[in-house]
Amino acid sequence: MLFSVMMTALLVATGCTNFTEQDKQAQAGAFSSEPKGAPQTTTVPPQSTETESPPPPGPCVDPDPNVITTCLASTGDLVPGDAQGATTVVAERTTGKIITAKRYSEHKVVASFDVDGSGDGGLIAFAQSPTYEQDRLLYALITTPTDNRVVRIAPGDVAKPILVGIPKGPMGNMGAMFFNSANELIVATGNTGNPAAATDPGSLAGKLLSITSLTSGGNARPKILASGLGSNVSLCASATTSSLYIADRTAIEDRLSVYSKSGLKPIWTWPDKPQIAGCAVAGNAIYVTTTRTKHIEGIIEPTPSKPTVQKPNVVLKDQYGALGRIAGLPNGLLQFATVNKQYGKAVSTDERVIRFMPSMSPLNERD
């Protein structure tokens, strides 16, 4: 998903937001029955990409010019920090830090959350308030010792709960989030290793949720848009078709689905279970990363006139090890993170964030 940036103000801000006043002003908007994606996608703060710092000394220098940053802890969510993809904003899943960096620059901590980073939990996903310029609020999906929950944080403050009680498991906690509108936060939750919970209407595990009560401490039950999600759930919205895609893993296959009013409609499945870790829409294609097979695979995005998709094309293979989350820019550029410390064979510069421009759109261009 595309994220613009205004990071400078966030990095220098040290005061606390008045949450009482924020809560008085926050109002739930009308429910949008079908998430539209890109127009209100989360944004994260602009940094200049005009100059590149000289290489620092030490073991964290990667000679690959496509590597944006190195020596991260295990990664979670990430977003491009500028239109050229030279800056990244990435979550360290196990430390609870949101970090911004560009090539050869120091890691700058944007926000920090107290998390339980065991298994695949921790700082899972984050999103910037649609009114960020006024309130400086960041929202996050995190794991605590007792649950998974949605929280928000202001500069200099501690995280305040928005929705608590999402089930937590030893694995299967990974989910995703984005703002569909100023008053609607879409959150996808993992099944925590329990497929029965994903189909249980009383459980918030394995669900696509619409949260319109954004006041801290409210904990209003969200609307369930879809059920039956698997593990390692990721979301990617298309500005071209206004479609919302969901990638996840089930016991029998990995899959890429599109959301509709009637639920989830799979558009491609992988019975060999390459361990899909993330999805992104860039240009006219949907891309997925895989952890086990270490691929980026691409599919031309379906349209009403061409709803059928063909076999995904591998556009990157075995170059950076086990791959995690991925994000895309309208110009076709991709950013993705490695997860070698947990799932692969780590090198001295892991974990890394890499920018990558596929040499061609997967398969054939639309006529």
Q: Tokens 């369930």 — which residue?
A: 224
Mean pLDDT comparison of 49-63, 191-205, 216-230, 303-317, highest-scoring range = 191-205
Q: What is the pLDDT of residue 166?
A: 98
What integer is the mean pLDDT of 97-104? Answer: 96
Amino acid at site 253: E
Residue 305 makes CB contacts below 8 A (sequence gap 6+) with none
Residue owning tokens 């952890």: 291
d(CA 226, CA 91): 26
Can you list the domains of the chain with their CATH numbers?
Answer: 67-356 (2.120.10.30)
Distances (CA, A) of 71 to 97, 111, 294, 316: 14, 18, 19, 22
- pLDDT value at position 261? 85
- Which tokens hold the place of 362? 């997967």
Quote the CA–CA distance of 311 and 359 in Å, as a whole number.
18
Helix (H, G, I), strand (E, B) or coil at 342: helix
- When pLDDT is averaged across residues 159-166 and rounded to a whole number, the result is 96
pLDDT at 163 over 60: yes
| pLDDT tops 60 at residue 143 | yes
Instruction: Tell me what percent of the residues of the chain surpass a pLDDT of 90.
Output: 73
Instruction: Give mean pLDDT, residues 50-58.
Output: 66
What pLDDT, on a 0 to 100 scale, did the predictor assign at position 17? Answer: 33
Residue 188 near residue 246, CB atoms below 8 Å: yes
What does the pLDDT average to over 336-345? 96
User: Confidence band (pLDDT; 50, 70, 90) for 29?
Assistant: very low
Total length of the chain: 367
Q: Are 139 and 209 in contact (CB under 8 A)?
A: no
The three-point CA angle 166-168-170 to 5° equals 165
Give the ranges where 75-156 is alpha helix by DSSP (H): 132-135
Beta bridge partners of 184: 181
At residue 33, the pLDDT reads 46
pLDDT confidence of 15, banded at 50, 70, 90? Answer: very low
Check residue 304 and give its pLDDT: 83
pLDDT-derived band at 361 (thresholds 50, 70, 90) equals: low
* pTM, full prediction: 0.85
Residue 360: the pLDDT is 54
Q: What is the pLDDT of residues 230-285, one digit of tens each?
A: 999 999 999 889 999 999 999 999 999 999 988 899 999 999 999 999 999 998 89
210 token code pair: 């619409």
Q: Report which residue type is found at 15.
A: G
d(CA 70, CA 79): 16
What mean pLDDT do residues 101-118 have?
96
Q: Contact, 125 vs 150, CB < 8 A?
A: no
Residue 362 — pLDDT band, cuts 50, 70, 90? Answer: low
Contacts of 91 by beta carbon, 8 Å cutoff, 6+ apart: 75, 76, 77, 78, 97, 98, 99, 123, 124, 125, 126, 140
Question: Stretch 162-180: mean pLDDT, rounded?
Answer: 97
**What is the pLDDT at residue 262?**
86
**What's residue 86's pLDDT?**
96
Given a contact cutoff of 8 angstroms between Cβ atoms, the answer to whether 122 and 143 are in contact is yes
For residue 59, what pLDDT is reported? 85
Average pLDDT, the chain: 86
CB-count burial class (<10 Å; 0-12, 13-18, 19+) for 60: middle
Q: Report the Cα 331 to chain-centroid distance in Å.
A: 19
What number is the average pLDDT over the span 107-122?
97
Per the CB < 8 A criterion, the answer to whether 112 and 96 are in contact is: yes
CB 187 within 8 A of CB 176: yes
* Cis peptide bond upstream of 52, omega within 30: no
Given a cut of 80, whether residue 39 has pLDDT beyond it is no
Q: Which of 240, 209, 237, 243 is nearest to 224 (CA)?
A: 209
